[in-house]
């Protein structure tokens, strides 16, 4: 028994480490309330009322709490109150038993059919625990008919096994019934002294329970009991996001081709004639975005400003973007006359006083992960910002929490090395000094 307990606790600890490597964007806790019907198997036969065991008329009930690690399996704890009775030619008895166990659950339906979205599931549970019971017994002999009791509470180890059939009636609730078998390391749950034949045959209880399950948080996040293993897999999520990015990339390319009708550049300064305000600038003359020549004094001033101010604040907008757009920025190096193209990942945005990452933000983070996986030499700095509401200390903490949540998603779910990701909190954005949605964000800065 000690070995079984050690094994179960070891599985629990290892499961926590495993869960850290999975996405945290799911709800996992669930609870059941159960009505129990039992049948006692031991040295004495159950008392019957007609053809029905009298134990069915007793108030038997139970409850469980379970933490689901994947759509296939989870760990939990249960409690059952199981009164029962029996008799033979020599005595009659009534026992009140309370049973608590650590249980493991395996979802056979999703294990065999990983793509299924069926609301019906078949689960098996196995556990180990202990029970406390007291008994009252009476001999039929008129000279010895006094009601006797066990001198104190009796403690015994238990092993429960069950098969659970469950149907999800909504995201948060499910109905089910289970057949259960509970074996106890005792040959005398009846409590009658002369029946205590240790080591001969252990007693056990069988029966059926009817349960209602409540899945905590399932209305706000997908509960792992409601989804299939394919949806849960981070690799599958990455592939689906990659397909979305490819489709968006093709749409963006089509748009750029439609806009770039005029590719003629008469003076070769890199600015198309359609927006070149000076069509005949001399060769190798630095120009601005409209093709106008830049004076040497302006170049020196620009270079000095770049050296003294290297932090760029992302554009402020009134609401977060609904689709992911990768904005190319073309920069012409005035010293080497080389053209450099940057892919700028847009910021991700947060609700007021929150650091939760929504579905749109996850698309942006997936693009960041894809870019870093394609080039192992790239590192990224994530900078978190807040609006002006609240104390400075509160906003410093919230901005850092937002950056940390994004970093954790890259490191834990997308397996980006922690040495390549830095998170910093910048606190309040004072310009504009208002409750501005664009200020509640995280920016990405890449280095190579």
Contact 226/68 with Cβ under 8 angstroms?
A: no
Provide the pLDDT confidence category of residue 314 given band limits of 50, 70 and 90.
Answer: very low
- Whether 71 has a pLDDT exceeding 50, the answer reads yes
What's the average model confidence in pLDDT over 218-247? Answer: 72
Q: Are 105 and 70 in contact (CB under 8 A)?
A: no
Position 325 scores a pLDDT of: 43
| Structure confidence at residue 182 (pLDDT) | 92
What are residue 88's phi and psi, to 5 degrees?
A: -150, -160
Residue 425: pLDDT band (50, 70, 90) is very high
Q: pTM of the predicted model, to two decimals?
A: 0.49
Q: b/e map of 271-298 (b: 16 or more CB within 10 Å)?
A: beeeebeeeebeeeebbeeebeeeeeee
Q: What pLDDT, on a 0 to 100 scale, did the predictor assign at position 272?
A: 72
Name the pLDDT band for 360 (thresholds 50, 70, 90): confident
Please report the DSSP string for 226-260 in residue order.
TS-HHHH-HHHHHHHHHHHHHHHHHHHHHHHHHH-
| Least confident stretch, 220-234, 381-395, 415-429 | 220-234
Closest Cα partner for 121 from 228, 48, 235?
Answer: 228
Q: Is the pLDDT of residue 235 over 80?
A: no
Specify the range with the lowest mean pLDDT, choosing from 27-41, 158-172, 367-381, 431-445. Answer: 431-445
Phi-psi region of 35 (alpha: psi -120 to 50; beta: other; left: phi over 0): beta
* 148 vs 76, more confident: 76
- The pLDDT value recorded for residue 120 is 94
Whole-number pLDDT of residue 278: 80
Q: Inform me whether the pLDDT recorded for 310 exceeds 70.
A: no
Query: Which has more pLDDT, 295 or 312?
Result: 295
Q: Which positions ≥6 away from 234 have C-beta within 8 Å?
A: 22, 23, 413, 414
**What CA–CA distance (Å, rounded) separates 339 from 270?**
9
Q: Which of 3-17, 190-204, 335-349 has the lowest mean pLDDT?
A: 3-17
pLDDT of amino acid 321: 38
pLDDT-above-90 percentage for the chain: 30
Tell me the average pLDDT of the chain. Answer: 76
User: What's the confidence (pLDDT) of residue 100?
Assistant: 95
Among 213, 216, 183, 219, smallest CA distance to 201 is for 183
- pLDDT, position 79: 95
Most confident of 21-30, 310-319, 405-414: 405-414
What pLDDT does residue 422 have? Answer: 93
Domains of the chain in start order, with CATH, are: 2-227 (2.40.160.20), 311-447 (3.30.1330.60)
Which two three-digit tokens encode residue 189?
């749950």
pLDDT at 89 over 90: no
Query: Residue 149 — very low, low, confident or very high, per pLDDT cuts 50/70/90?
Result: confident
Q: Which residues contact 53 (CB under 8 A, 6 or more apart)?
A: 38, 39, 40, 46, 47
DSSP string, 185-215: S-S-TT--GGG--TTT---EEEEEEEEEEEE
CA–CA separation, 314 vs 311, rounded Å? 10
State the pLDDT at residue 257. 57
For residue 27, which of 170, 174, 219, 222 has the smallest C-alpha distance? 222
**What is the arithmetic mean of pLDDT over 196-218?**
81
Residue 136 and residue 149 in contact, taking contact as beta carbons nearer than 8 Å: yes
Count the residues in the chain: 448
Q: Identify the pLDDT of residue 48.
A: 57
Backbone phi and psi for residue 262, each to the nearest 5 degrees, phi listed first: -105, 105
Q: How many helices (H) and strands (E) does the chain have?
A: 7, 18
Return the pLDDT at 324: 40
Do 208 and 177 touch, CB atoms closer than 8 A? yes
Instruction: Please state the rounded mean pLDDT for residues 270-290.
Output: 73
CA–CA separation, 29 and 214 (whole Å): 9
Confidence of residue 189 (pLDDT cuts 50, 70, 90): confident
**Between vectors from CA 414 to CA 413 and to CA 418, what angle results, nearest 5°?**
95
Predicted pLDDT at 59: 77
> What pLDDT score was predicted for residue 373?
87
pLDDT, mean of residues 307-334: 42
The encoded tokens of residue 274 equal: 């359609």
Q: Cα(53)–Cα(381) distance, rounded to whole angstroms? A: 69
Residue 76 CA: distances (Å) to CA of 129, 170, 182, 285, 424: 12, 22, 17, 72, 38
On the question of pLDDT at 435 being above 80, the answer is no
Q: Give mean pLDDT, residues 380-393.
A: 88
Among 380, 379, 399, smallest CA distance to 389 is for 399
Are 428 and 376 in contact by the 8 Å Cβ rule? The answer is no
- Contact assessment for residue 29 and residue 69, using Cβ atoms and an 8 Å cutoff: no
Q: What is the mean pLDDT of residues 47-74?
A: 76
Helical axes 359-374 vs 234-259, angle rounded to 10°: 90
| Arithmetic mean of pLDDT, 307-321 | 38
The pLDDT value given to residue 240: 57
Computed from CA positions of residues 355, 359, 361, 367, in that sequence, does the dihedral angle turn out positive or negative?
A: positive
DSSP string, 286-318: -B-TTSPBPPHHHHHHHHHHHHH----PPPP-S
Q: What is the pLDDT of residue 56?
A: 55
Beta strands 379-386 and 421-428, pairing class: parallel
* Whether residue 432 has a cis bond before it, omega within 30° of 0: yes
């999520």: which residue's tokens?
237
C-beta separation of 245 from 253 below 8 A: no
Output the pLDDT for position 19: 44
pLDDT at position 334 over 80: no
């Amino acid at each position: 028994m000690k070995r079984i307990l050690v094994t179960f606790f070891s599985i629990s600890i290892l499961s926590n480490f495993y869960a850290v490597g999975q996405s945290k964007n799911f709800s996992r806790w669930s609870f059941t309330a159960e009505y129990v019907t039992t049948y006692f198997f031991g040295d004495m036969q159950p008392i019957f009322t007609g053809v029905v065991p009298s134990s069915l008329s007793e108030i038997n009930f139970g409850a469980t709490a379970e933490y689901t690690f994947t759509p296939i399996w989870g760990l939990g704890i249960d409690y059952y109150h199981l009164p029962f009775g029996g008799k033979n030619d020599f005595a009659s008895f009534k026992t009140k038993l309370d049973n608590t166990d650590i249980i493991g659950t395996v979802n056979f339906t999703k294990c065999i059919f990983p793509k299924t979205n069926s609301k019906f599931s078949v689960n098996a549970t196995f556990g180990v625990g202990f029970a406390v019971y007291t008994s009252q017994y009476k001999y039929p002999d008129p000279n010895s008919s006094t009601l006797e009791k066990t001198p104190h509470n009796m403690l015994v180890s238990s092993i429960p096994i069950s098969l659970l059939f469950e149907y999800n009636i909504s995201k948060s609730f499910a109905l089910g019934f289970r057949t259960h078998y509970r074996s106890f390391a005792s040959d005398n749950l009846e409590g009658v002294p002369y029946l205590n034949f240790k080591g001969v045959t252990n007693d056990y209880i069988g029966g059926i329970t009817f349960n209602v399950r409540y899945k905590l948080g399932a209305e706000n996040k997908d509960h792992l009991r409601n989804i299939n293993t394919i949806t849960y897999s981070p690799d599958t999520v990455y592939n689906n996001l990659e397909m979305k990015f490819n489709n968006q990339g093709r749409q963006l390319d089509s748009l750029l081709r439609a806009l770039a009708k005029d590719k003629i550049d008469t003076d070769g300064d890199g600015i198309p004639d359609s927006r070149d305000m000076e069509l005949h600038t001399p060769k190798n003359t630095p120009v601005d975005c409209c093709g106008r020549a830049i004076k040497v004094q302006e170049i020196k001033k620009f270079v000095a400003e770049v050296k003294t101010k290297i932090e760029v604040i992302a554009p402020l907008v009134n609401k977060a973007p609904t689709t992911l757009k990768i904005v190319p920025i073309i920069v012409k190096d005035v010293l080497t006359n080389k053209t450099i193209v940057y892919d700028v990942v847009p910021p991700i945005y947060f609700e007021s006083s929150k650091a939760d990452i929504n579905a749109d933000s996850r698309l942006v983070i997936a693009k960041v992960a894809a870019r870093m996986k394609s080039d192992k030499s790239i590192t990224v700095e994530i900078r978190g910002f807040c609006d002006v509401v609240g104390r400075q200390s509160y906003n410093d903490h919230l901005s850092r929490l937002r950056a940390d949540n994004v970093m954790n998603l890259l490191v834990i779910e997308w397996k980006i090395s922690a040495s390549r990701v830095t998170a910093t909190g910048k606190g309040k954005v004072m310009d504009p000094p208002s409750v501005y949605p664009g200020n509640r964000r995280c920016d990405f800065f890449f280095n190579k």
